Chain A
Amino acid sequence: TVGAVAVDEAGHVAAATSTGGLTAKRWGRIGDSPLIGAGTYADDRAAAISCTGSGEHFIRLGLAHELCARLRLCGDELSIVEQDLIAELGRIGGKGGFIAVTPEGDARWAFNTPGMYRGRVSHDLEAQIAIF
């Protein structure tokens, strides 16, 4: 699965996610990526988020919308919400991670796997690439 989140100079956010799914998937299985609110969500009142990992768990948590809702309704920092959600994902047996950015420009990634191919760049930060 691949994905991107961004905030532009006007303070608008967007998210996109794309995937080939799981190797050897059957029965018309669909994961979280195309499900708005599970693997992908964007709302200028909160954040944009794209997820990667064991999709069934992201669907059960409604993770992308949950993150945005907690930011919007609870007023918590992104760093707090992301740690809560990655812990919650782990508690139900889910693996993977997500990237999120707020309209204020706070941008973070979180994952509970050995690594996640990831990168970020901003108006005042050179491109950073990491795997582990």
Chain B
Amino acid sequence: MGWTLMIHGGAGSMRRGQLAEADDAAGRAGLSAALEAGAAILRDGGSALDAVEAAVKVLEDDPAFNAGRGSVFTWDGRIECDAAIMDGRDRNAGAVAGVTATRHPVSLAREVMANSAHVLLSAAGADAFSKEHGLEQADQAWFAIPERRRQLDEMKARPEGAFDSGMKYG
């Protein structure tokens, strides 16, 4: 039996011909790094669960992608992250929504799965759970990048576009 890892990463514009060379390169570099992080685990006989967490953590740290560092802004100018993880062996699962201060939200989701009686924690409660369980914290400045702020300003300048499908999906 072999192993396989697949990943996806939302990074903004996806129109062929409109994607800047630098953005294209940044996206590809991020994907490559994430693949390698997960593949290294699987290659050594590690678990699928560890591999998906490792791959997603790399993408969360990469400002090219809309997750973790590089997340988009809410209407109120905050960054709120969501994440989930699920283990196919026993359908154990964990998830968090609206968390604001955990560097790797996917690891917080795994902590919910592994060390709580619950599946989904949200907002301030999930932030508190994160601190109590010793997850690495990060302030809002860590997550924020100028391009996402510009996108928020653009969105607020045309409030009829309350749903950003035009911006994200062309």
Report the separation of the CA atoms of residues A24 and B120 in the bound assembly, to the nearest whole angstrom. Answer: 23
Interface flag for B2 (CB, 8 Å): yes
Closest Cβ–Cβ distance, residue B138 to chain A (whole Å): 13
* Complex partner residue of A129 from B16, B31, B71, B97, CB under 8 angstroms: B31
Residues of B within 8 A of A113 (CB): 14, 169-170
- Chain B interface (Cβ < 8 Å from any Cβ of A): 1-11, 14-16, 19, 24, 27-28, 31-32, 34-36, 38-39, 42-43, 45-49, 51-53, 55-56, 59-60, 65-68, 70-76, 79-89, 91, 93, 95-98, 105-106, 109, 119-120, 122-123, 143, 148, 151-152, 155-156, 162-165, 167-170
> In the complex the two chains form, what is the Cα distance from A15 to B55 in whole Å?
11
CB atoms of B16 and A24 under 8 A apart:
no
Shortest beta-carbon distance from B152 to chain A in Å: 6
B165: shortest Cβ distance to chain A, in Å? Answer: 6
Q: Quote the shortest CB–CB distance from A104 to chain B (angstroms).
A: 9
A95 CA to B170 CA, complexed, in Å: 10
Q: Contact partner of B53 among A16, A39, A101, CB < 8 A?
A: A16
Q: In the complex, what distance in Å separates the CA atom of A99 from the CA atom of B8?
A: 7
Q: 24 pairs across A/B with beta carbons < 8 Å? A: A2-B66, A3-B9, A4-B6, A6-B5, A8-B3, A9-B2, A9-B45, A14-B48, A15-B52, A16-B56, A16-B83, A18-B82, A19-B66, A19-B71, A23-B167, A25-B75, A30-B82, A30-B97, A30-B98, A33-B84, A34-B83, A36-B120, A107-B6, A115-B14
Contacts of A91 in B (CB 8 A): none
Q: Which residues of A contact B75 (CB under 8 A)?
A: 24-26
A36-B67 in contact (CB<8A): no
Contact B84 A34 (CB under 8 A): yes
A38 CB, min distance to chain B CBs, angstroms: 9
B162 CB, min distance to chain A CBs, angstroms: 7
Q: Given A14-B49, A34-B82, A131-B24, A121–B39 Cβ distance below 8 Å?
A: yes
Which A residues are in CB contact (< 8 Å) with B8? 1-4, 50, 52, 97-99, 109, 116-119
Q: Is the CB of A120 within 8 A of B4?
A: yes
Most buried by B among A22, A23, A28: A23
Would A2 and B59 count as touching, CB distance under 8 A?
yes
Are A17 and B6 CB-contacts (below 8 A) given A2-B59, A8-B42, A119-B35?
no
- In the bound assembly, the distance between CA atoms of A11 and B84 in angstroms comes to 21
Q: How far is the CA of A87 from the CA of B165 in the complex (A)?
A: 18
| B7 → chain A closest CB, angstroms | 5
